[in-house]
A and B are shown apart, each in its own frame.
Chain A
Amino acid sequence: MIEPKITDDLVEAHGLKPDEYRRILDILGRTPTFTELGIFSAMWNEHCSYKSSKKWLRTLPTQGARVICGPGENAGVVDIGDGQVVVFKMESHNHPSYIEPHQGAATGVGGILRDVFTMGARPIAAMNSLSFGRPEHPRTRSLVSGVVAGIGGYGNAFGVPTIGGEVRFHRAYDGNCLVNAFAAGIANADAVFYSAASGVRMPVVYLGAKTGRDGVGGATMASAEFDDSIEEKRPTVQVGDPFTEKRLLEACLELMASGAVISIQDMGAAGLTCSAVEMGDKGRLGIRLNLDRVPVRESQMTAYEMMLSESQERMLMVLRPEKEGAARAIFAKWDLDFAVVGETIAEDRFVIVHGGEVKADLPLAALSGTAPEYDRPHRPTPAPQPLDDVPAIDPIEGLKALIGSPNYASKHWVWEQYDHMVLADTVRAPGMGPGVVRVHGTSKLLAFTSDVTPRYVAADPVEGGRQAVAEAWRNLMAVGATPLAATDNLNFGNPEKPQVMGQLVGAIRGVGEACRALDMPIVSGNVSLYNETDGSAILPTPTIGAVGLLASADELIGAVPQAGDAVLVIGATAGHLGQSALLAEAFGREDGPPPPVDLDAELRAGHFLHGQRASIRAATDLSDGGLALAAFEMAQAGGIGVEIEVEDIPTLFGEDQGRYLVATADPEALLAAGRAEGVAVALVGRFGRSVVRFGSVEAPLEALSRLYLTAFEAAVADLAPRSGAA
């Protein structure tokens, strides 16, 4: 095939700015070939190069006593004792999910699972943080149904329990939904695999599914804003096959155990290009690929298409040559492709040969090493105006406004479509704080949570960034876990706009401060920018996925109260209503500053909770919706009523940070301990009867529960799902 001539229009269509193209000309000293232009665009787009965020990501704390491997590899690696590690990461699949919700979300799950098992870890838990537009927006119902079915369809077949996550709705996501997929796996500390190639003339092996034309240009697509032409971008979305991924998992783990793997890298964004360059660059080697040997499922594919395809369920590996026979046998057993497609070379070149012709011959290190990096202009978000007066509202009506909204109603309609029990180690199902799973064959438990409050971040990015981390930490503490580390998935609008860049810079600062103070380093992450449609950006959404460890089930703090238990609030209540859920859901208002985060107070309240574990029957963190929502949710989980002795709105619905709601049979012990340790502890009510009462007003628990359990489906479930087989 004759490759097209390089023109300014072609360069622009590849998402490369004129100055970036000039840099390419400088590096090469000549005009690139079409295939080479494609390779540069794949490596230098925002999605792969982090060119707008790198400067700020470097400021995040990434080290810690338990951190074995921080950002830069496929996923973070953290020590959990007994020679075991947990490997985890969160990654976005926002743009593809809006274009094609089922496949976009499914391949997001597939990609994050591969990131985990490419390091030698067997996935044991998944979560998803989802943000959609207004429930009444014409696309929302089909997006929700498609994304949820896509996540379930992939994770369920693969065989990983999906044990938690978030779902939110806000008009700012009308034109860009967010799908942030998290996965965690377990490996032995001495059997973690990395991507750096080593050794010259070592075979480079292609593993897994065949290469097709799906996803060509996907990473470049994901590095641009949307406009009304998005329907035309559907072919850039990949198609997932969880059955192949499951086989690839088992085959890769067998392969790793056989001693055949020198290094391994999954093919994600920008497929063969990114994975080969990554392995070569990290090992300071060159790579030569012969594309005639790449297993393809479509005929007449060009070098350009093969290098940019994002076909799923593929891996690239550098093989110990003496193990080739054993390695081939493993892939034959699982009926997967295994092809030696190239070799490592000593020279710093990335050489692509196809049909006997050299289609690309580039300096490999320069492809990633000289990728552009920007210090983009950033304008801090102006300080929020003080909160206006909040009108009077009956607290029961306030609670109904929350639990009748899909934002705060039960999400069981979502998580019942996910197999959250496969692997038979799920100790705490979704729906009540973090998901908790047992590390198979041990007494250890791992807790997982994902948190962010985008309203807060929009009002004050630094405070909102701090809050996202603090809430994740608090959620882990509330189940009795010791927080280990976190992964950040930073979703923002167009970084070329100073106000958006200001949000990113502010949020990263807040995230970093809180991670440092709470000793919860960021060990992996992902940045998704250009989440804008027709110039309108999403709320800044720095999702924090966090992992905590429990030595055994004895450390687990319950979630279900018993009748007669006292209700206590640990941590100080000031009644902060700015940017609260009540304001948003009952009055349609988002004003005032977000609640301030006092990281020292956060630490004190958390450690106090753990110190008093023995006298606590159930605990939950206080966040959106404050005391009123948390008390209702805990009562609902126990199937018993709750009576709270206050009815003033700031106390009930304020979102002051650093607080927990606990149920205990021994309130005196907790009150005395609080006095002794200088931690605010307040007795606010009691579980029992079959009503929810706030001071002088009450409603039957049953009616409230019905609203809570049905509001989500009523608001956003697809009314007429398509029938027929998948």
Chain B
Amino acid sequence: MKAAVLVFPGSNCDRDLAVALRGAGADVEMVWHKETALPEGVDLVAVPGGFSWGDYLRCGAIAARAPVVPALRRHVERGGYALGVCNGFQVLIEAGLLPGALMRNAGIRFVCRTVALKVTTAHSRFTAGYRTGQSLSVPVAHHDGNYFADAETLRRLHAEDRVAFTYGEPVNGSVDDIAGILSANRRVLGMMPHPERAADPALGLTDGAALFRGLVEDAVPA
């Protein structure tokens, strides 16, 4: 499986994400935000955490207008896989590839800790390695992870089984405790928690590893 990790000037989890993908067996290429095309034959585009453009304006808003984003959009429109973690989730929302908005945490402050996460649907390549309802321990680290969507969008997300993860404890004030959502074709996942920080036994957390394993082993080409 071939993955491209996008690198914006303020990305800082790009290496972490590449390490986790490679650990699961993916062939990973880093792609600079000024590129206008993705490498040939990419199955997955991963948008990493960090502060893509310093989180100036709204988080992810400037990155969503980077030269590489039209290529990401074409990849998604063709049915390719995309994963956005933390700031990557913010970028996917700002690019209109996932619905809703991520607002400042309800508690106002930045929050970095390992939280309880619930797998809300195992019905996607990202979550196929889990059981629906399974509890995970995965770190969060964000200032703007308070997910919000209008009533109609929420109704659709739930009706279409597109909420991938919910928080098992109060974290940031997200509506319906939403921590991650899928696109309508279930091939784009955006999530605030960092599975790449929970994919190495040496760090004491391993619950994120199944996400990368499932993705790499089971991905079908676009």
- Asked if A and B bind, the verdict is yes
Given A241-B54, A438-B202, A723-B104, A421:B9 Cβ within 8 A = no
The answer to whether A149 and B197 have CB atoms under 8 Å apart is: no
Stretch at the interface among A125-133, A155-163, A167-175, A461-469: A155-163
The answer to whether B12 and A553 have CB atoms under 8 Å apart is: no
A390–B104 alpha-carbon span in the complex (Å): 50
The answer to whether A416 and B112 have CB atoms under 8 Å apart is: yes
- Chain A 142-187 residues near chain B, CB threshold 8 A: 149, 152-153, 156-159
Kindly list chain B residues whose C-beta atoms are within 8 Å of the C-beta of A412.
Answer: 113
A415–B56 alpha-carbon span in the complex (Å): 23
Looking at A152, A422, A426, A438, the one whose CB has the most chain B CB atoms below 10 A away is: A422
Kindly list chain A residues whose C-beta atoms are within 8 Å of the C-beta of B202.
Answer: 427, 438, 553
The answer to whether B111 and A422 have CB atoms under 8 Å apart is: no
The answer to whether B112 and A157 have CB atoms under 8 Å apart is: no
A722–B49 alpha-carbon span in the complex (Å): 25
- Chain B 1-60 residues near chain A, CB threshold 8 A: 9-10, 12-13, 15-16, 19-20, 32, 34, 49-51, 53-56, 58
Which residue of A158, A243, A423, A725 is within 8 Å of B53 (Cβ)? Answer: A243
The answer to whether A427 and B111 have CB atoms under 8 Å apart is: no
Given A417-B109, A721-B109, A726-B143, A158:B12 Cβ within 8 A = yes
A618–B175 alpha-carbon span in the complex (Å): 41
Kindly list chain B residues whose C-beta atoms are within 8 Å of the C-beta of A244.
Answer: 54
The answer to whether B110 and A419 have CB atoms under 8 Å apart is: yes
Asked whether any CB of chain B lies closer than 8 Å to the CB of A288, the reply is: no
Which residue of B10, B34, B139 is within 8 Å of A157 (Cβ)? Answer: B10
A617–B16 alpha-carbon span in the complex (Å): 30
The answer to whether B141 and A152 have CB atoms under 8 Å apart is: no
Asked whether any CB of chain B lies closer than 8 Å to the CB of A335, the reply is: yes
A335–B58 alpha-carbon span in the complex (Å): 20
The answer to whether B9 and A246 have CB atoms under 8 Å apart is: yes
- Chain A 246-264 residues near chain B, CB threshold 8 A: 246-247, 250
Smallest Cβ-Cβ distance to A416: which chain B residue:
B113
Looking at A153, A156, A241, A427, the one whose CB has the most chain B CB atoms below 10 A away is: A156
Kindly list chain A residues whose C-beta atoms are within 8 Å of the C-beta of B139.
Answer: 421
Asked whether any CB of chain B lies closer than 8 Å to the CB of A65, the reply is: no
Q: Chain B 96-122 against A: per-residue CB contact (8 Å), 1 yes, 0 no?
A: 000000001000111111000000000
Q: Chain B 159-203 against A: per-residue CB contact (8 Å), 1 yes, 0 no?
A: 000000000000000000000000000000000001011001011
The answer to whether B51 and A423 have CB atoms under 8 Å apart is: no
A152–B110 alpha-carbon span in the complex (Å): 8
Smallest Cβ-Cβ distance to B112: which chain A residue:
A419
Given A421-B197, A422-B141, A243:B56 Cβ within 8 A = yes
Looking at A153, A250, A425, A438, the one whose CB has the most chain B CB atoms below 10 A away is: A425
Looking at B56, B110, B112, the one whose CB has the most chain A CB atoms below 10 A away is: B112
A518–B58 alpha-carbon span in the complex (Å): 51
Asked whether any CB of chain B lies closer than 8 Å to the CB of A424, the reply is: yes
Kindly list chain B residues whose C-beta atoms are within 8 Å of the C-beta of A156.
Answer: 51, 110, 112, 141, 143
The answer to whether B15 and A423 have CB atoms under 8 Å apart is: yes
A425–B20 alpha-carbon span in the complex (Å): 12
Q: Chain A 407-440 against B: per-residue CB contact (8 Å), 1 yes, 0 no?
A: 0000010011111111111110000000000100
Kindly list chain B residues whose C-beta atoms are within 8 Å of the C-beta of A723.
Answer: 104, 108
Kindly list chain B residues whose C-beta atoms are within 8 Å of the C-beta of A587.
Answer: none
Asked whether any CB of chain B lies closer than 8 Å to the CB of A374, the reply is: no
Asked whether any CB of chain B lies closer than 8 Å to the CB of A334, the reply is: yes
- Distance in Å: Cβ of A145 to nearest Cβ of chain B: 9
Q: Chain B 128-145 against A: per-residue CB contact (8 Å), 1 yes, 0 no?
A: 000000000001010100
Smallest Cβ-Cβ distance to B32: which chain A residue:
A333
Asked whether any CB of chain B lies closer than 8 Å to the CB of A242, the reply is: yes
Kindly list chain B residues whose C-beta atoms are within 8 Å of the C-beta of A726.
Answer: 55, 143
The answer to whether A157 and B51 have CB atoms under 8 Å apart is: yes
Given A157-B10, A157-B55, A242-B54, A424:B111 Cβ within 8 A = no
Given A243-B10, A334-B9, A424:B51 Cβ within 8 A = no
Kindly list chain A residues whose C-beta atoms are within 8 Å of the C-beta of B16.
Answer: 422-424
Smallest Cβ-Cβ distance to A443: which chain B residue:
B202
Which residue of B58, B109, B203 is within 8 Å of A149 (Cβ)? Answer: B109
Smallest Cβ-Cβ distance to A721: which chain B residue:
B108
Kindly list chain A residues whose C-beta atoms are within 8 Å of the C-beta of B196.
Answer: 424
Smallest Cβ-Cβ distance to A250: which chain B residue:
B9
Which residue of A159, A416, A438, A553 is within 8 Å of B50 (Cβ)? Answer: A159
A224–B57 alpha-carbon span in the complex (Å): 38
Given A422-B12, A422-B141, A243:B110 Cβ within 8 A = no
A244–B196 alpha-carbon span in the complex (Å): 25
Smallest Cβ-Cβ distance to A425: which chain B residue:
B203
Q: Chain A 502-531 against B: per-residue CB contact (8 Å), 1 yes, 0 no?
A: 000000000000000000000000000000
The answer to whether A247 and B10 have CB atoms under 8 Å apart is: yes
A250–B32 alpha-carbon span in the complex (Å): 13
Kindly list chain B residues whose C-beta atoms are within 8 Å of the C-beta of A423.
Answer: 12, 15-16
The answer to whether B112 and A246 have CB atoms under 8 Å apart is: no
Q: Chain A 209-243 against B: per-residue CB contact (8 Å), 1 yes, 0 no?
A: 00000000000000000000000000000000111
The answer to whether B54 and A157 have CB atoms under 8 Å apart is: yes
- Distance in Å: Cβ of A429 to nearest Cβ of chain B: 8
The answer to whether A422 and B13 have CB atoms under 8 Å apart is: yes
Show the binding face of A for B, using Cβ within 8 Å: 149, 152-153, 156-159, 241-244, 246-247, 250, 333-335, 412, 415-427, 438, 553, 721-726
Taking A424-B200, A724-B104 as given, write out 16 further A-B residue pairs in contact, using a Cβ cutoff of 8 Å, ordered by the A residue number. A157-B51, A157-B55, A243-B9, A243-B10, A246-B12, A247-B10, A416-B113, A417-B111, A417-B112, A418-B110, A419-B141, A422-B141, A423-B16, A424-B13, A424-B16, A425-B203
Residue pairs across A and B with Cβ atoms less than 8 A apart, 25 shown, are A153-B110, A156-B110, A157-B51, A242-B51, A243-B9, A246-B9, A246-B12, A250-B9, A333-B34, A334-B9, A417-B109, A418-B112, A420-B112, A421-B112, A421-B141, A422-B141, A423-B15, A424-B19, A424-B196, A424-B197, A424-B200, A425-B203, A721-B109, A723-B104, A725-B58
Show the binding face of B for A, using Cβ within 8 Å: 9-10, 12-13, 15-16, 19-20, 32, 34, 49-51, 53-56, 58, 104, 108-113, 139, 141, 143, 194, 196-197, 200, 202-204
